[in-house]
Every structure is written in structure tokens, then in C-alpha cells.
Amino acid sequence: MSDNYPSKSGRQKEHRAFFGRVSGKRLHKGQRELFDTLLPDLRIELPNKGQIDPQQIFGIGAKQNILEIGYGGGEHLTRIAIQNPENGYVGCEVFTGGIGKILKTIAAENIKNISLFTSDAFRLLSALPDASLDLVYLLYPDPWPKLRHNKRRFVSNTTLNELARVIKPGGRFRFATDIEDYANWTLAHMVRNEAFCWQTSQNPQFWHTPFEGWQSTRYESKARREGRMQSFYFTFVRCA
Ligand SMILES: C[S@@+](CC[C@H](N)C(=O)[O-])C[C@H]1O[C@@H](n2cnc3c(N)ncnc32)[C@H](O)[C@@H]1O
């Protein structure tokens, strides 16, 4: 899938291709039903032209607008949404198995403060107004470890410029990975981006300290089972 995204000014934004997997095993019957019954109420549709109103997707009066990109099965997103009912949450995920899982949790837990975007997260970022998000999570993004595939990684100059535009001054971007090369890749991109300051201590010892209230995501648990025992947790602040 690839696209050019029109910006607010009408100029075409930098070209960006998307390479993620969208379907895998067949969904359970219950999950298939939720695609027909619950998803239409939660799904974010982008306007053909212009920008999307954050209140429409995060809820009117949400204390903070929080986005998670690539939520997988939604374990982290549903947990923080339940813990913080005063905030509004949007989850982006393209993989139907993951969307099916989060729908099941949202229905079972009767969660009211999550909306879902089921296409490339960059499309949603491009449709958001400037300074509309308080916090963005990118947890264990697809690592694309082969050198020739590195450019498929979600972190790029293009996506970071877009994140810098949509995160409020003083807002945060949180990134976690178990892949050292992706951690280095992200730091290398971040030091070139003047819009972000690095909040995580410069002492590498703290790079491995999880975010407050952290519980392993599904992918992190898989990494540990496979012997990848260390992760990197970075918090970057949108400079005022
Ligand atoms: C390695 S998994 C990690 C899932 C979850 N964050 C976790 O830690 O368990 C990465 C997820 O990001 C999703 N993804 C990749 N690129 C994406 C994009 N551009 N927009 C939305 N989701 C994306 C994939 O479908 C996949 O489910």
C-alpha cells in the first residue's frame, strides 16, 4: 500500500509506503460478529478533504488525547483506557487479528473511551490538526531487521516530522523496543529532529527502565520467551 497525503496547505506530503501485514488466521465467530456490530461505532473514518476534529475521535472534554500506534492485541491500550476514564484514546492497528482481540476486550470490559483507526497510522497523523495530541505510544514497532528493509520502519524523518506537528508543546512520544539496532536508529533520527527533546536520562542504565505503571505487552513477553531479555524505553518531549 502506498500513498501521498495532502497536507493542510494542500501540498502533497513526502511519499511514504506501508508494508505491514493486514490479515492472518481466520477470526473467531465472536470476533467476526464484533466487526459487524461494534467496530462501526468505534471506527474512525477520515474526511475526504481537510482535517479531522480531535473531539470527534477522542471525545468531547477528554482530559488528554492519547494515541497508540500498532497496539497489537490491545493489552496496553485497554489497560490504560480503563485506568484513566477521564482521557480519550485512539488505537491504530491494521492487523485484523489484533483488531478482533481489542474489540473483544472493549465489549467484555464495556470500555467507552477508545476509538479505532484500522489503516496505516500515518494517514491518521496526516489528518490531525497541529498540536492536538498529549501523548503518543509506539511500543515494539515491527523491527524490519534486514538492512535493506530498515527504511520500512515506522520511525523515519517523515513520521517524526508529522508527530512533531501533531503533538502539543510539552506533550510526549514514548517508544519501546527490544531490538538494539532499532533503538539506535530511533535515537539517530531523534537527535536530528530539533522539535523533540530527549526526556529519558542520558545515562544508558535508565534506557532499560520501563515507563511508570508498565506491564509487558504481548510482544515484549514473546521477546523474553525467545531470550531477548532487555528492552529500551525512550520518552521524548515535544519542545515548547
Ligand atoms: C511487533 S507488533 C507489536 C504489537 C504491540 N505493540 C505489542 O507490543 O505487543 C507491531 C504492530 O504494529 C502494527 N503496525 C505496523 N505498522 C503499522 C501502521 N503503519 N499503522 C498501524 N499499525 C501498524 C502491526 O500490525 C503489528 O500488530
Q: Does the pTM exceed 0.85?
A: yes
Per-residue pLDDT tens for 14-37?
Answer: 557 777 777 777 788 888 999 999
Ligand 1 — pocket residues by CB below 6 A?
18, 20, 69-72, 92-95, 98, 120-122, 139-142, 154, 217-220
Domains of the chain, first to last: 51-238 (3.40.50.150)
User: Which of 89, 90, 94, 138 gets mutated to test ligand 1 (max ligand atoms within 8 A of its CB)?
Assistant: 94
Tell me the pairing of strands 167-177 and 232-238.
antiparallel
Outline where DSSP puts E strands in 64-209.
65-69, 88-92, 114-117, 133-139, 167-177, 196-198
User: Which of 2, 76, 95, 144 gets mutated to test ligand 1 (max ligand atoms within 8 A of its CB)?
Assistant: 95
> Active site includes 142?
yes
How crowded is the C-beta side of 237, counted as CA atoms within 13 Å?
Answer: 9
Looking at the CA of residue 75, tell me the nearest atom of ligand 1.
Answer: 9
Provide mean pLDDT across the span 108-123.
98
**Which sign, positive or negative, has the C-alpha torsion 65, 173, 213, 68?**
positive
**Which sign, positive or negative, has the C-alpha torsion 158, 160, 161, 162?**
positive
Residue 77: per-residue pLDDT: 98
Give Cα 214 distance to the centre of its chain: 16
pLDDT above 70: percentage of residues in the chain:
92
Residue 20 C-alpha to ligand 1 middle, in angstroms? 8
Instruction: Give the separation between CA 173 and CA 140, rounded to whole angstroms.
Output: 13
Per-chain mean pLDDT for the chain: 91
Confidence of residue 7 (pLDDT cuts 50, 70, 90): very low
Cα-flanking dihedrals φ and ψ of residue 91, to 5°? -115, 135
Provide mean pLDDT across the span 106-112.
98
Range of weakest confidence among 60-69, 122-131, 170-179, 197-206: 197-206
Residue 118 C-alpha to ligand 1 middle, in angstroms? 11
Give Cα 167 distance to the centre of its chain: 13
Instruction: Give the separation between CA 128 and CA 107, rounded to whole angstroms.
Output: 27
Is the pLDDT score of 2 beyond 80? no
Residue 141 C-alpha to ligand 1 middle, in angstroms? 5
